[in-house]
Amino acid sequence: MELFKPEFGLVFWMFFVFVVLFAILAKYAWPFIIRNIDERAEFIDKGVAYSQEAKMQLDHATENAQALLADAHKQQMEILREAAQMKSQIVEEAKKAASEEAKKVMDAAAVSIEQARKESEQQFRNEVSAFALQIAEKLMRKELSNDKTQLEMIDKLLNDIETKN
């Protein structure tokens, strides 16, 4: 049957056409297309991997940032606590220093007051004794305005001296 009998002319032309088509396409078309399909697929894969990595890094970054934040918060608290402590300490020290100073000042004041008091007492005494001498002088002058009393006085003084010795 003719349907199942290969025809030489057709086989010849088919072989020719197919081989020529293959040669042309294999030289000028397929390498570019395949290379591009492969490269693009690789490019896309790489891009996806890269973005995944980036996303992971981003996730890590937020995590890191949170850790950092927490750390900073902790440090801040510590610093605040230290500061508070330091403040109270300083206040304490200042109080102590102030009280010492005050005491010193008070002491000094007391000493100077005492001195002033002594001085004024001395002065007062001197003045009093001066007054007393003046008064005594005046009294003496009045008393000793007659001879009799003068003699009595002398006697008395002499007696005193005698008893003393």
**Residue 33 in the binding site for other proteins (CB under 8 A):** yes
Q: What interhelical angle do 30-143 and 8-28 show, nearest 10?
A: 20
Residue closer to other proteins by CB (options 35, 60) is 35
Contact between 130 and 124 under an 8 Å Cβ cutoff? The reply is no
CB atoms within 10 A of CB 144: 15
- Tell me how far apart the alpha carbons of residues 107 and 113 are, in angstroms, rounded to a whole number: 10
With CB under 8 A, what is the number of residues at the site for other proteins?
A: 38
**Residue 124 in the binding site for other proteins (CB under 8 A):** no
Work out whether the CA dihedral 149, 151, 152, 158 comes out positive or negative.
Answer: positive
Per-residue mark of binding to other proteins, 8-27 (x: CB under 8 A)? xxxxxxxx-xxxxxx-xxx-
Contact between 150 and 144 under an 8 Å Cβ cutoff? The reply is yes
Q: Which of 39, 53, 100, 152 binds other proteins (CB under 8 A)?
A: 39
Residue closer to other proteins by CB (options 14, 79) is 14
DSSP letter assigned to residue 145: T
**Residue 148 in the binding site for other proteins (CB under 8 A):** no
Residue closer to other proteins by CB (options 13, 124) is 13
**Residue 37 in the binding site for other proteins (CB under 8 A):** yes
Q: Which pair of tokens denotes residue 147?
A: 């001879």
Q: Which pair of tokens denotes residue 3?
A: 């349907």
**Residue 46 in the binding site for other proteins (CB under 8 A):** no
Of 2-10, 84-92, 111-119, 126-134, which segment contacts other proteins by CB under 8 A?
A: 2-10
- Tell me how far apart the alpha carbons of residues 118 and 122 are, in angstroms, rounded to a whole number: 6
**Residue 34 in the binding site for other proteins (CB under 8 A):** yes
Residue closer to other proteins by CB (options 12, 131) is 12
**Residue 38 in the binding site for other proteins (CB under 8 A):** yes
Q: How many residues does the chain have?
A: 165
Which residues of the shown chain bind other proteins in the complex (CB under 8 A)?
Answer: 2-15, 17-22, 24-26, 28-41, 43
